A and B are shown apart, each in its own frame.
Chain A
Amino acid sequence: MNKVTPPRNLAGWCGRLLIVDLTHQKSWVESLSADLLHDSIGGRGLGVRLLRDTYQLDPFSAAMPLIFAGGPLCGTIAPASARLSVVSRSPLTGTIHASSCGGAMALQLKAAGYDALKITGVSAAPVLLSIAGDQVQIESATHLWGLPVSNTLAALKPVGGAAIIGPAGEHQVLYANIMTAEGSAAGRGGLGAVMGAKRLKGIQIAGKKPVVVADAEGVERSVNDIMRLLNAAPVIFGELGFAEYGTPALIDLLAQRRMVPTNNFRETFFAETSRYAAPALRRRYQPVSQGCHDCPIACKKATRDQQRLPEHGSLSHFGALLGISDLDIIVAACRLCNDLGLDTLSAAATIAAFSEASGEGIRAEDLPHRLGQIAMRQEDGDLLAQGARRLTTALGCPHLAMTVKGLELPAYDPRGAYGMALAYATSNRGACHLPAYPVAHEILRKPVASDRFDFAGKAWMNIVAENTHVVGDSLVACRFVFLAAGLEEYAALLTAVTGVDFTATQLLAGGERIWLSERYYNQMNGFTSADDMLPERFFQEPGSSGHGISIPAIDRQRFLDERARYYRLRGLDDRGQVPSHFLENRL
């Protein structure tokens, strides 16, 4: 391995990128300039930047990189800021896909001396990548190939951080996840399949380098400011908040708001949500809290024997979306998905679409078999492994796919929150609540409440939120801290950590640039405004009104008007295209 000297005076970053070429079984280090790191920040921003020359390649082609990137705050006392971003092109959607996950990977990557790890090529046989500081080894993983996640981890006993795929990734299920040793998933767009296509079963990484910050006192002050805001936010540290109940706290709330996707989005209310809601989980499992590395919120819940319990979205989609209310069955299905390396949301949504398309009911007791078939691509499973859009197209009923850009909708019905409706449509990675996270203002009333049944103002709110969360995903900080703190606090923290002056405005502008890069890459891959569209069902069929709440179908014209406003405010042309002058100063 050749030696690379990182740029001097770099606090927060390492200035080094580790590249591993699986085809030629070799690795080397390249330096990352201070300018590039300041502009791209890290995580998602850095990952997107590193895709600049390859974004048009087929996701399964050897030359398509799979990038793991941490952020400048990782390893410091910054709360909820040691997450990892995994970036590549999604085989499910064809979009650029960045996914954030917990676990120790980001911390160990930094301790090993790298801002990011870029994997290219395809190995001839299954391999395991082991990184210990400067030592990089590519070892045979033939003995692990075919094993579920839990067995792989048991055989591997990784020290430091680890990310692996299950059978779903090996069989290139289009919505296969990458799982960390701690049970977090880099989810949604099928990056596990990209890893599987490279015949890379797993990565383990450990390092010992200390983390340096520029202004330790400033860091402490900023962290105190952020902690005060987190303490004051009911959704975080409140008695019914995420720290106490985890994201399943949302289940009762969304049921009360009548926006629970039910029976493949044919309804928006499921009478039995309380059977798998947070209080039921608490009664059944007396959960303990777990967190992403060093996170004070620790919103993950686990059984007393440390088995992770599902999050809100997984419970809701294996519950209401499939019409199942038995808690044990739902939890078992979610666990099985994690063990097979399947994305829970896409798996449940694809099964829901299959059920509606085929007219076959869903039998809860068949779920394990069905999920196994998907992960192994056996029988019907081969079709279901391709996600709801390809499945319904093959069955001649594409209108039954509840997807945007090919990504299955998560567990917030857009008829119950119009900012969410717009956000699903314009997200760069397809139907996902995370990029703009309108849950914040439309449901949780943060930073200010907005009328969920009104499109007015939503274009701007989504743009600001999208840009903010790009920054968050680049830092890489958790979505949830932005329910309480803002870029004002994180700019001060980043400044203290790195010794480089950052302001909220600068960070937002950087977020916008990264967001436009993603949009531009998608555009060059053939995406148009026709892809910024919700499934027809939401404009045609009302949801389940009741309890004084009316859930009509979405007014298509109002939706289109706000989307047009969104394009204008984003600086896109009226067909939603990124203007050519963006090319001149893109990332």
Chain B
Amino acid sequence: MIRQVEKYRHQLERDGAVRQGRVALVAQDDLIREAGATDLCRIGRALLSEVKSIALVIGEPWLPFQNLYPLCLAPESQRIAPLDTETRTFLHDIPLVRRHHGRIDWADVAGLLGQRKGVLVEGVGIIAVGSVTVEQGYVNFSTLYHALFVGYLLHLLQDEPRCAEIVELGPLLEQLAHPIPQLLDDIAAGPFADEHAVRKAIEQAGQRTVELHLVDSFFGNISCHVNNQLMISQTGASLDALAGCVDLVPDDNSTTAGLTASSELPAHRAIYAATGATVILHGHPKFTVLMSLLCDEQGCHIADCWKDCPQVRYLGTVPVVAGEVGAGGIAKNLAPVMADGIGVVYGHGVFAAGTVDFRQPLHKMIALENWCRREYQRLLGQKIAGHEKSGVKSGSR
């Protein structure tokens, strides 16, 4: 188990989700194993002894949400509702534990961790648990991080951020200044000679998607359509470790051995049927996800936009539609708008297709994410500029 603990600590730092050196993993079965920052390990150990889980991850996100959310939420608010749809499905909401008289009630934190997959603790960071594996703790941490990131960055555009928040945004502005590189030259060129070549290409493209941070943790899915069958990544598979995790699903369903295929199988199938594409890549690039949530429609009466919005909206030239995961409508809504081989699902992620190999979808996905970053940067710039002006006028808050 110590290998797992080390692996996922390393992975969290590599993912860029946490500040370097400010994460810890603690796991227990008959023995306690831990890795990471000593002070965080100590907190983790104490909590894990109270919670019936095998692993606990505690870390400070690189944008200090543990300080920012308490500032931007109403003082009595103790829940953060994720806006992105995938997180909503799996987390419902995220408890926020605040300091009272400068202190954290750790018993409260332990109690919440017994009920939920993770919490945000004021001044401390994100804490997530894995009930049966270390990997689960890592995945839950990443999912919380993704939800908090999307929610907070959206707040920056939609509400009036305080000065105390704006001063914390340096790292964000720094990140926005660096677009994701189009690292594609070594990506296997199609058409692929045989099944083996397809598998290798899938593994490579999956790996690259993770390396370029086009997903948080390693979720997303990928497929190739050849010889009347789909080769598609399995549900819950790590995009950066797809060897042995690709299922064969014949178009005529003549076998159900692909029962473990990705939950987005219906979406992949519908896109192939509608477009004549041969490869599809699906990821959750953060800025694309959050920009897809921006909507300036006035007087709209729809409450559950993520599933009920009937409109096709656009990020630049890329269409955005609503729809829930799996059997929930992505397939139906997305396939008709995929003529250019790329489409976004509201608050969820991108499906990008190609006709030859994975260079095309990777290229499209990176280009879109970079467009969304630039757009976000522009809007945030306006917001900050407006803030500074009003700050000068009225004195800072």
Chain A residues with CB under 8 Å of chain B are 225, 228-229, 231-235, 237-241, 245, 248-253, 255-256, 274, 277-279, 441, 443-450, 456-457, 459-461, 464-465, 486, 488-489, 491, 503-506, 508-509, 565, 568-569
**Docked complex Cα distance between A31 and B326 (Å):** 45
Chain B residues within an 8 Å CB radius of A241: 259
With A464-B52, A465-B132 already in contact, 17 other A-B pairs whose C-beta atoms are closer than 8 Å = A228-B325, A240-B253, A240-B265, A253-B260, A279-B254, A447-B132, A448-B139, A448-B236, A457-B29, A457-B132, A464-B131, A486-B131, A488-B115, A491-B115, A505-B111, A505-B114, A565-B29
Q: How far is the CA of A233 from the CA of B269 in the complex (A)?
A: 16
B43 at the interface (CB under 8 A from A): no
Contact residues of B with A, CB < 8 Å? 1, 29-30, 51-52, 54, 88-90, 92, 111, 114-117, 131-133, 135-136, 139, 234-237, 245, 249, 253-263, 265-266, 269, 324-328
Rounded to whole angstroms, the CA-CA distance of A508 and B115 in the bound complex is 11
Query: Least Cβ distance of B5 to chain A in Å?
Result: 12
Pick the most buried of A249, A457, A464, A506: most chain B CB atoms within 10 A of its CB. Answer: A457
Please tell me if the beta carbons of B260 and A443 are within 8 angstroms of each other in the complex.
yes
> What residue of chain A has the Cβ atom nearest to residue B130's Cβ?
A448
Instruction: Let me know if A232 and B259 touch, CB within 8 A.
Output: no
Contact, CB under 8 Å: A255 / B257: yes
In terms of DSSP, what is the predominant structure of the interface of chain B?
A: loop
CB A29 to nearest CB in B, in angstroms, measures 36
Cross-chain contact of B328 among A225, A232, A457 (Cβ < 8 A): A232
Closest chain B CB from A491 CB (angstroms): 7
Collect the chain B residues with CB atoms within 8 Å of residue A457's CB.
1, 29, 54, 132-133
B115 partner residues in chain A, CB cutoff 8 A: 488, 491, 503-505
Cα-based distance from A464 to B328 in the complex (angstroms):
30
Least CB distance from A369 to B in Å reads 33
CA distance A114 to B239 in the complex (A): 51
The CA of A538 and the CA of B1, in the complex, are separated in Å by 27
CA distance A228 to B326 in the complex (A): 9
Q: Which of A239, A256, A461, A508 contacts B52 (CB 8 A)?
A: A508
* Given A234-B260, A241-B259, A443-B260: A229 and B90 interface contact (C-beta under 8 Å): yes
- Measured between beta carbons, the chain A residues less than 8 angstroms from B92 are 225, 489
In the bound complex, residues from chain A placing their C-beta under 8 Å from that of B117 are 488
A443 to chain B, nearest CB (A): 7
Partner of A237, one of B88, B139, B327: B327
Name 14 interchain pairs, CB-CB below 8 A, sorted by A: A229-B90, A234-B235, A234-B261, A238-B327, A245-B256, A253-B259, A256-B255, A441-B132, A446-B236, A449-B245, A457-B133, A459-B29, A460-B29, A491-B115
B245 / chain A contacts, CB cutoff of 8 Å: 449
B residues in contact with A445, CB < 8 Å: 234-237, 260
A234-B326 contact, Cβ under 8 Å, with A245-B256, A249-B256, A249-B259: yes
Rounded to whole Å, the gap between the CB of A126 and the closest CB of chain B is 44
| Least CB distance, A109 to chain B, in whole angstroms | 30
A279–B236 CB distance below 8 A: no
Q: Whole-angstrom distance between the alpha carbons of A233 and B234 in the complex?
A: 12
Nearest CB of chain A from residue B32's CB, rounded to whole Å: 13
Alpha-carbon gap, A46 to B1, bound state (A): 37
Most chain B C-beta atoms within 10 Å of own C-beta, residue among A234, A235, A245, A444: A234
B-chain residues with CB within 8 Å of residue A249 when the two chains form the complex: 256, 259
Which B residues are in CB contact (< 8 Å) with A238?
Answer: 259, 261, 263, 265-266, 326-327
Pair B111/A503 contact, Cβ less than 8 Å: yes
> A448 touching B328 by the CB < 8 A rule?
no
A277 touching B259, Cβ below 8 Å: no
Q: Are B259 and A234 within 8 A (Cβ)?
A: yes
By a CB distance below 8 angstroms, the chain A residues around B326 are: 231-234, 237-238
Whether B234 and A240, one on each chain, are in contact in the complex, defined by CB atoms closer than 8 angstroms, is no
Which chain A positions have C-beta within 8 A of B131? Answer: 447, 464, 486
Measured in the bound complex, the distance between the Cα atoms of B1 and A447 in whole Å is 19
List, in ascending order, chain A residues with CB within 8 A of B136's CB: 447-448
Nearest Cβ distance between residue A467 and chain B, in whole angstroms? Answer: 9
What A residues does B139 contact at CB under 8 A? Answer: 448
Give chain A residues whose Cβ lies under 8 Å from the Cβ of B266. 238-239
Interface SS of A by simple majority: helix
Q: Is the CB of A232 within 8 A of B256?
A: no
Residue of A nearest to B86 (CB): A232
Bound form: Cα–Cα A232–B258 in Å: 16
Residues of B within 8 A of A447 (CB): 131-132, 136
Q: Are B265 and A460 in contact (CB under 8 A)?
A: no
B255 in complex: contacting residue of A252, A449, A459, A460, CB < 8 Å? A252
Contact residue among A231, A245, A277, A450 (Cβ-Cβ distance under 8 Å from B325): A231
Given A460-B29, A460-B132, A569-B30, are A228 and B324 neighbors across the interface (CB < 8 Å)? yes
Nearest B residue (CB) for A235:
B259
- For B29, the chain A residues whose CB sits under 8 A away are 457, 459-460, 565, 569
Return A316 CB to nearest CB of chain B, in Å. 13
Least Cβ–Cβ distance between B378 and chain A, in angstroms: 34
**How near does chain B come to A398, taking the closest CB pair, in angstroms?**
34
Which residues of chain B are near A441, meaning CB under 8 Å?
132
CA A241 – CA B253 in complex, angstroms? 11
A461 contact set on B, CB distance < 8 A: 132-133
Minimum-distance CB pairs A-B, first 9: A505-B114, A237-B327, A232-B325, A256-B257, A232-B326, A252-B257, A249-B256, A252-B255, A231-B327
Q: In the complex, how many angstroms separate the beta carbon of A479 from the nearest chain B beta carbon? A: 16
In whole angstroms, what is the CA distance A430 to B124 when docked?
47
Counting chain A CB atoms within 10 Å of each CB, the highest count among B235, B266, B324, B325 belongs to B235
Once the chains are docked, how many angstroms separate the CA of A240 from the CA of B139?
26
Query: With the chains together, A541 CA to B52 CA distance in Å?
Result: 38
Are B324 and A240 within 8 A (Cβ)? no
In contact, A240 and B254 (Cβ under 8 angstroms): no
B250 to chain A: closest CB distance in Å?
9
Whether B256 pairs with A235 at a CB distance below 8 angstroms is no
A234 with B262: CB separation less than 8 A: yes
Residues of B within 8 A of A225 (CB): 92
A504→B110 CA distance, assembly (Å) = 12
Closest Cβ of chain A to B23, distance in Å, is: 20
Contact B132 A252, beta carbon cutoff 8 Å: no
**Roughly how many angstroms separate A449 CA and B236 CA in the complex, as a whole number?**
7
| Contact partners of B258 in chain A: CB under 8 A | 240
Contacting residues, chain A, for B256 (C-beta < 8 A): 240, 245, 248-253, 277-279
List the A side residues contacting B111 at CB < 8 Å: 503, 505
Q: Which of B1, B52, B235, B256 has the most CB of A within 10 A?
A: B256
What is the distance, in angstroms, from A455's C-beta to the closest C-beta of chain B?
A: 12
Known: A279-B253, A449-B237. A250 touches B133 (CB 8 A): no
* Residue among B52, B132, B235, B324 with the highest chain A CB neighbour number at 10 A: B132
Do residues A239 and B253 form an inter-chain contact, with CB atoms below 8 A? yes
Report whether A234 and B263 are in contact in the complex, using a CB–CB cutoff of 8 Å. yes
Tell me the minimal C-beta distance from A502 to chain B in angstroms.
Answer: 9
Q: Which of B253, B257, B263 contacts A232 (CB 8 A)?
A: B263
Which of A229, A444, A488 makes the CB contact (< 8 A) with B259? A444
Q: Which residue of A lies closest to B28 (CB)?
A: A460
Q: Are B260 and A505 in contact (CB under 8 A)?
A: no
A506: which B residues are within 8 A, CB to CB? 114
Enumerate chain B residues within 8 angstroms of A503, measured Cβ to Cβ: 111, 114-115
**Chain A residue nearest to B329 in the complex (CB):** A231
Residue of B nearest to A257 (CB): B257
> Is A228 a contact of B255 with CB atoms below 8 Å?
no
Q: Are A232 and B261 in contact (CB under 8 A)?
A: no
Contact: B261 with A240, CB < 8 Å? yes
Contacts of A233 in B (CB 8 A): 235, 263, 326
Return A500 CB to nearest CB of chain B, in Å. Answer: 15
**Inter-chain contact B135/A448, CB cutoff 8 Å:** yes
Interface centre among A278, A446, A448 (most CB of B within 10 A): A448
Please measure, in the bound complex, the distance between the C-alpha atom of A569 and the C-alpha atom of B236, giving whole angstroms: 27
Provide the bound-state CA to CA distance between A48 and B34, in Å.
Answer: 39
Q: How far is the CB of B31 from chain A (nearest CB, A)?
A: 11
Assess the A274–B255 pair: CB atoms within 8 A: yes
Q: Shortest CB–CB separation between residue B240 and chain A, in angstroms?
A: 14
